[in-house]
Structure 1
């Protein structure tokens, strides 16, 4: 084969150049590409967030163990991140463990059922003071006891009056000269008329020709004697009251309206009421008058019903229990109403937790709301919520605690922020656990403001105790109202550090224990709630020691089917609130909080 060497060299060079060109085309950018791929992977690794499947509020920049349950952390799915970074996530298991339940917000007519207590009283306009028109000595009493019925115009007493005898003698002399001295005659008659004598009585005296020694006092109205003010033989002056007489054909029913319920009661409202001495019967009446001034001691105003008392079945001083179905106003027919258990408050702000469901699961976002009037166990929401939104109604404290641990907005930290408890080690978060009951019962140093806030709360608790000692259910209810008002007014921001969690735990237990006290029908229900309240108050007293004097923890082993129960007292004397008059001294002092 005649191929020149020059040709071979040319072909070889062409092949080498072509191979280099193809190699560059296929693999020329591989080094840079590998470097970029490595950097990208490194960037993803550094941005991975790790969490706990049982406690989604835990967030860490690197893998490790959950500081709460010890489970291995898992990476968060970056394709389905939280819709709202300020919300706290809760797994279904965590919600079940925390007893969290939710409700959809709805609108309804704001009607509040007010439970009212009151008494039957006389109609003040039908009460009359029967006075004597003559001064003298009581010679005879036709009405001798309180409660006797008198009729108008009938004699109720007889009086001997020297002045009246003298006036009659003057009349006899004037009759003799009435033709020549008619003016004198008329003056003598007028003097007797001033003593309420009628013309017929005066004519009878003239006809008889001798003065009357015992003159009758006739009743001015018909009614029942409610007060007897004189006795036989008493000397009385002209105009002095001798009887109080009341017409009971119409009576007043006066109900106590508490200051917090004043917005709901108005003139014209219909009240249905029952009386213990007339079981099975129901009465009704309209409010005709409400006191314009609140009693400064009891903090109540009186609402008056005017009731016809047919058959005199309603007797003054009878106790009455009434119900008023009140509507705040005609323009509030579509108000947003939520349960009280859904609301958390600090004294300045009221917040709820709104449920959000995303592809990543369930989360809750804190939202501040403006509260309107209370409806017993519910609140009217003025601002902050719309119909159709879903909120947590139970377990809100657990959600708030999770939000605080995760550095999300919470009740005490509305702006959110890093958790200050525990330590950070390489990006992982260690969270301080809730103190045990034994730790909570240890004395904790608190500031003066916190102690001052607790003093009136403890005094209101002792008022409940004293009422139960005296078997006074109504007194216990009123004291409970004062306790609940005082508890709601305490600014929880005065409790800082370790004391804050202790206050949150015990105050929520106290609130829950007495939240239905206004509806208790007997002392047994009140005492059962008082037992739970006492457990919380004992914990607060041991932890914060709010008083400078000794506080005694007292125990009765026979309460609750011999399980025993405790209470607080400022006296070392045993006065048992669980048995009252049945066993007033049952118990012993088990501890003294100094």
Structure 2
């Protein structure tokens, strides 16, 4: 009986504990589900064209005016944008820098180098007569030597014989003056002075040892003889180097040589003399690249009258390696991922709850020390990743998003043109028609090879482009138009800024491809346009343009080859895009 009472007590206790645990768990689960349900109702709204826009409610994009769409968690549809968690950013040590325009000259190119002796201020002290060294008045390497200083005393049997000949010739000087002159010249050839010759004739005694004097001031770099050595005529006793002027030699990588010219200022210092900066100008640039180090040397001269600098001292220099003071967008070299053909950076969208980084291809200009000049792809104020870009790129690749190795995600999307000819509103086509009219005026100016007129008409195109209401197209067509509009703007501005007809035609080539793609994708209203092609334009790669007339008038050559080309396609109000992109491929049957 007692046993049953114990069992019943244990059962009651177990039931009580079970109710406490599972009852509370159920309650917590209900609360968790409620909170989860509430969190799911909190939506974030974004713009499909500008993913940096994040708002808690629906509305219009503050940039382009497009309707905002709900942002699905962890489902970024833009292959260019890669999202990371805050913890991932910390683990990868992602660091960013806000870039902007700056003076190219303000960025110095850091160089390393050495002090070298000035080769133009070196000399060798040689013996002009053969004989044995009796005495040396310079005894060690590094000793200072002054011009005219006695260097050595030499015993020369040949010189003794020549002196005897001089004394004999002096006796018959009046009868045979040519013999006397010959013996005197022989001694002068051996660097015997006229004073010494007069002394020999006056004393009528042969001098057994003659002194050698320094003809150059400096320090002894090499001592090549000792007392008792026998010298041949012309043999070197000492190498002398003047250190009052030195060379500062720096190594420059071949990629940094483009903007460096003689006359550029270079400042440098040496750890041996802290807190002192030397400044000089480049006087020589080595015309040959070292095949092992891939560097060339540049040289500057430096005054060293105070003897502070010594050959072989290490140097750290800074050079302003461009010849102009034009401003440019500069980005740290650590931000650039380089594949050989393409250069890539990642740009962070500011002030977003989820760290987001956009894949950007950039065009690099000159190397400026620790930075690159950016010709295209970035704008002032962009926040670029300067540390950890490779980690982001690798993560994007694994996530099947655009990266250095996954560029085809972009190219595959643009292999064919979309067809919005049916869905595009008539009003948008009318506005696009005004853009086309200004494009045609640029084409006509280039046909006439008129630089000023094409620049003027390009400004009109920009004005008509600004009047196009982008809100008239929605969804994918809106995104496509934004990309086309950017390309049209950039190439048109290139025509405006160019002062050379050839450069304008290069920009017009790119502009034409974009305009043709835009026209084929959106269609036209009550107009007919002809896609025309010349296989000899664009450096014989071929180039397209759009025309309202079937008659060929080539904008790439003007009067030189006005009728070179043929009609590739016709675009009218019934045109339906076949999905093929404009390609610069040769054609047959063209006119000349």
Q: TM-score, normalised by structure 1?
A: 0.51
Relative to structure 1, the CA distance from residue 52 to residue 407 in structure 2 (aligned partners, 3 Å threshold; closer, same or farther) is farther
Counterpart of 2:366 in 1: which secondary structure?
Answer: strand
Counterpart of 2:101 in 1: which secondary structure?
Answer: strand
- Residue 411 of structure 1 corresponds to 404
1:176 aligns with 2:171: yes
1:251 aligns with 2:250: no
Relative to structure 1, the CA distance from residue 386 to residue 180 in structure 2 (aligned partners, 3 Å threshold; closer, same or farther) is same
1:334 aligns with 2:350: no
How far residue 148 of structure 1 moved from its aligned partner, in angstroms, is 2.1
- Greater displacement, 356-365 / 226-235: 356-365
- Residue 272 of structure 2 corresponds to 277
Distance, in Å, in 1 between the alignment partners of 2:391 and 2:180 is 98
How far residue 134 of structure 1 moved from its aligned partner, in angstroms, is 0.8
Relative to structure 1, the CA distance from residue 108 to residue 136 in structure 2 (aligned partners, 3 Å threshold; closer, same or farther) is same
Distance, in Å, in 2 between the alignment partners of 1:230 and 1:359 is 79
- Residue 345 of structure 2 corresponds to 352
1:323 aligns with 2:317: yes
Distance, in Å, in 2 between the alignment partners of 1:341 and 1:325 is 20
Residue of 196, 200, 203 corresponding to 2:195: 200
1:90 aligns with 2:73: no
Q: Do the aligned residues in 2 keep the contact of 1:80 with 1:360 (CA within 8 Å)?
A: no
Q: Do the aligned residues in 2 keep the contact of 1:87 with 1:363 (CA within 8 Å)?
A: no
Distance, in Å, in 2 between the alignment partners of 1:325 and 1:202 is 57
- Residue 145 of structure 1 corresponds to 140
1:107 aligns with 2:101: yes
1:291 aligns with 2:306: no
1:215 aligns with 2:215: no
Q: Do the aligned residues in 2 keep the contact of 1:89 with 1:361 (CA within 8 Å)?
A: no
How far residue 313 of structure 1 moved from its aligned partner, in angstroms, is 2.5
Q: TM-score, normalised by structure 2?
A: 0.51
Relative to structure 1, the CA distance from residue 234 to residue 379 in structure 2 (aligned partners, 3 Å threshold; closer, same or farther) is same
How far residue 290 of structure 1 moved from its aligned partner, in angstroms, is 2.0
How far residue 112 of structure 1 moved from its aligned partner, in angstroms, is 3.2
Q: Do the aligned residues in 2 keep the contact of 1:271 with 1:322 (CA within 8 Å)?
A: no
Distance, in Å, in 1 between the alignment partners of 2:119 and 2:336 is 46
Deviations 1:267-294 (A, max 9, x none): 2232333333333333222222222222
How far residue 356 of structure 1 moved from its aligned partner, in angstroms, is 6.1
Residue of 92, 115, 119 corresponding to 1:120: 115
User: Which 5+ residue runs of structure 1 have no aligned equivalent?
Assistant: 1-49, 57-76, 418-594
- Report the aligned-residue RMSD: 3.7
Q: Do the aligned residues in 2 keep the contact of 1:404 with 1:416 (CA within 8 Å)?
A: no
Distance, in Å, in 2 between the alignment partners of 1:354 and 1:243 is 64
How far residue 239 of structure 1 moved from its aligned partner, in angstroms, is 1.2
Count of matched residue positions in the alignment of Structure 1 and Structure 2: 345
Relative to structure 1, the CA distance from residue 296 to residue 413 in structure 2 (aligned partners, 3 Å threshold; closer, same or farther) is closer
- Residue 387 of structure 1 corresponds to 380
Q: Do the aligned residues in 2 keep the contact of 1:113 with 1:323 (CA within 8 Å)?
A: no
1:135 aligns with 2:130: yes
Q: Do the aligned residues in 2 keep the contact of 1:88 with 1:406 (CA within 8 Å)?
A: no
User: Which 5+ residue runs of structure 2 have no aligned equivalent?
Assistant: 1-39, 47-66, 411-592
1:308 aligns with 2:268: no
How far residue 384 of structure 1 moved from its aligned partner, in angstroms, is 2.0
Relative to structure 1, the CA distance from residue 189 to residue 258 in structure 2 (aligned partners, 3 Å threshold; closer, same or farther) is same
How far residue 150 of structure 1 moved from its aligned partner, in angstroms, is 2.6
Q: Do the aligned residues in 1 keep the contact of 2:283 with 2:300 (CA within 8 Å)?
A: yes
Q: Do the aligned residues in 2 keep the contact of 1:288 with 1:306 (CA within 8 Å)?
A: yes
How far residue 102 of structure 1 moved from its aligned partner, in angstroms, is 5.4
Distance, in Å, in 2 between the alignment partners of 1:289 and 1:116 is 16
Relative to structure 1, the CA distance from residue 264 to residue 360 in structure 2 (aligned partners, 3 Å threshold; closer, same or farther) is same
How far residue 51 of structure 1 moved from its aligned partner, in angstroms, is 13
Distance, in Å, in 2 between the alignment partners of 1:52 and 1:87 is 26
- Residue 225 of structure 1 corresponds to 220
1:267 aligns with 2:243: no
Deviations 1:248-304 (A, max 9, x none): 222222222233432354322323333333333332222222222223333332222
How far residue 326 of structure 1 moved from its aligned partner, in angstroms, is 1.5
Q: Do the aligned residues in 1 keep the contact of 2:86 with 2:355 (CA within 8 Å)?
A: no
Deviations 1:211-257 (A, max 9, x none): 11111112212222221111111111111111111222222222222
- Residue 360 of structure 2 corresponds to 367
Deviations 1:453-498 (A, max 9, x none): xxxxxxxxxxxxxxxxxxxxxxxxxxxxxxxxxxxxxxxxxxxxxx
Distance, in Å, in 1 between the alignment partners of 2:126 and 2:154 is 12
Deviations 1:119-163 (A, max 9, x none): 222221111111111111111111121222233223211111111
